[in-house]
Chain A
Amino acid sequence: MSQFVEQLPVVLSALNEGFVQTLKLFIVTLLGALPLGLIISFGSMSKFKPLSSFVKTFVWIVRGSPLMIQLLIIFYMPGIVFHNPVFGGGEEGRFAAACVAFVINYSCYFSEIFRGGIKSIPYGQQEAGEVLGLTKSQIFFRIKLLQVIKHVVPPMSNEIITLVKDTSLARIIAMQEIIWAGEAFLKGSHGIAGQVWPLFFTAVYYLAFNGILTIAFGKLEKKLNYYRG
């Protein structure tokens, strides 16, 4: 027991460090993938056939292949195939590669959610806007967008909670997120070796963070529920 008390602060500080990496990846992915997802959804709905079929194929490839493979390709391809290791070997490079892979992957999932949200707006609103003499961009931003946001919040919150846990995949390219930090104590790290509990303890971090997200999304949904007052 006294050994546990001694180890606790060391383990927690290592796990906190790992969790900061997890959070950073989560935030960058959200900030990148939300706008990119919207752009991709426009691409897949475009009336310009070559563009929409190109985007649809791209979305199929990204959603259809494992994120783990995409991480490996994005980090290792530049050096091995093009002899140009753009990311470098340091921690920053691994983080950057993980960000690129996650933003691309998640923007494809988000794009389909946005597409569903945009398609759910009755076409009559488009016509009404045109009759009133609004431009296409006015119709989208002033009439449709807020309704789209309301519609996409539930599926989006689902995807975002999955994202929190998916960040653990980044350890395949040795990005040192929280599970990496927890697992390190199995073998030995920070002078503590052969400890199993830190690995299992990482789940507490995910649970707590996802709890906060669930509450926040619940509040957001309530706020957007303006038709029922």
Chain B
Amino acid sequence: MPSEPITAANGTIPRSLPVLRASRIAKRYGGVTALAEGELELAPGEVHVLIGANGSGKSTLCKIIAGATGPDSGVVELDGAPRHFKAPRDAAAVGISVCYQELSLIPQLSVAQNIFLGREKVVARTFVNSRKLNDDAARLMERFQGVAGENFFPNTLVSDLSADQQQLVEILKTAAEDGRIVIFDEPTSSLDNRQVELFFGLVREMKSAGKAIVFISHRMRELFEIGDRMTVMRNGRTVGTFDAADATEGQIIGMMIGNDIVSSAQSPQEKSPQARSAKTVLQADNLTGRTLNGVSLDLAEGEILGLGGLHGQGQSALLRSLFGADPAADGIIKIDGKVVKVSGPRAAMALGLAYVSGDRGRDGTLSHRPVFENLALARLNKSHATYIDVAAVSDQVLPVAERLKLKYAGLGSPISQLSGGNQQKVVLGRWLAAEPRILLLDDPTKGIDLQTKKDLYALLAELCLGGMSILFYSSDDTELLSVSDRVLVFADGQVVDELAGERLTEFELNQAAFASSASAEATA
């Protein structure tokens, strides 16, 4: 491997004895291996960056270290002695604190109550001195004075705070726990530049107090600014640890996606450019909402436009707002050049849109109802029929079932008796039967088998030849790149890059997803 200059083998030796060492950690969830061989070594007084693409196992590794879940195999050693944490409080008791990505605050309590939750000084086993609590909280909150926005006081209820303020409280809560080992799982994703700078100030103080800090972020610039050492993960394995000063962005991204994949990059040439006509079908202009920060795009007739990037950067929110499931607060949607208002799914359907969610249990299947109803529901709702002629409707939906190669006992059998992949086919079939012009696919292959996926790809290509236009979000980067004509890379609710032609590679995708957050901030 000549192009890979840094590996685990020549990783640097920590400056002092490690406080924590996790070795050969493995964890499976059902049939999915979340972590195959996770390794992490933390020295006191360092900021250790943990980096990896979607599903590389960062969060799982952190959860195991924090005792939130147990490993299937492997050892976590603290000061050289192996530890088995049965619950997060076991880990907290020995000084491991975690600032979680999904906020763990209690909305009904005040900022001060949240910061000191479970550690309040109690009088006579019952009463909390709330004035002292508020004073203590105010002292901690001083750090973010001037950048935290309005109504950021110790007695403010957390439910009244904005997303970034809540994140600041989560950070202060973690800091107040005063652990020896502190894990920050994407703490900066909702913070602006000034808030991040002040947060880094806090991290540096913690570092000089001799704490070991793990920092996860997808903003490459931040990783280099604050990190002392870096550990890269890929497909559930730790692929290397090295000094931040020795690395470059390109090398890290190369390690994240693996050189083997780079060399066997997709051949986007296999798609004929003629497949894409010049006619724009769908246009979105500056869509803004809770998780969308001004997204614009245009979709041509017969095109598959991919939406990529890390999880939850606004891809799903975009599709749902286009379909009217969660309408955007602001922005313009045009279909065939005409401005349209998508007030809800019914309006979207009338405009020829269809939305297939990957979360079929929540958004798709009518579990114990017959396959027939599950296939015909959208078509019939669109048709305004009153009486259902079962024979006629069956004739209309049977070709769809055939086209999808659906395996089922009969139209009358409940959908719950089908395999997961076939259930997903039914949900897709429901929309094909409704004969849409624009298909919005929201991670439609999540948790379905390989054969079904292959069938789906072939079907999508066929649909596009027939003039269908498709917006395709997938959390599987390989799939996304091989299916899409173009890929828009999302970060923080914005489109940060557009990949097409020779740039349709995993390297480019990850570089855009990780690195261009800096440019996103600059405009924010």
A, B co-complexed: no
Interfacial residues, chain B to chain A (CB-CB below 8 A): none
